[in-house]
Structure 1
């Protein structure tokens, strides 16, 4: 799925990855922590990180708004590692 999304033009591909992250996060918590989703969520953020570095601050902040909101409300063990690839943009 990540590979297919990256075939889209940027920044649309990054928006789709962000949307996928948000959906997986919600599924993760709705079902009580589905462990294999942790790897997927991490890989999504890892895929996004180099692209975020190249964006101007305003565009990047807009894209990261939903992920930042999740990060701020997250009180789980996920917070200790899942956001590592994009920490500087939160």
Structure 2
């Protein structure tokens, strides 16, 4: 369900940008959502494959890369602050 939600959100973003719109603070929502979904997908795949999957499996490499997602391109904590301030209009901490 989360992957489908991400897919539909991406289609909406592409439609808006192709019509002349711009990316704004909502890209922070995309970054947080995707980085957490990426980790969950890889972890689920490893869980489904069992303990041997971690020995020699490309999903392990994918998980290790995905674990960096919440950090690169601005940590998810920073992205959440952007969401709170710019999208929700909450005061700065």
Is TM (by shorter chain) over 0.5?
no
Which structure has the larger Rg? 2
Is the helix fraction higher in 1 or 2? 1
TM-score range for the pair, normalised by the shorter chain length: 0.3 to 0.5
Q: TM-score, normalised by structure 2?
A: 0.42
Q: TM-score, normalised by structure 1?
A: 0.43
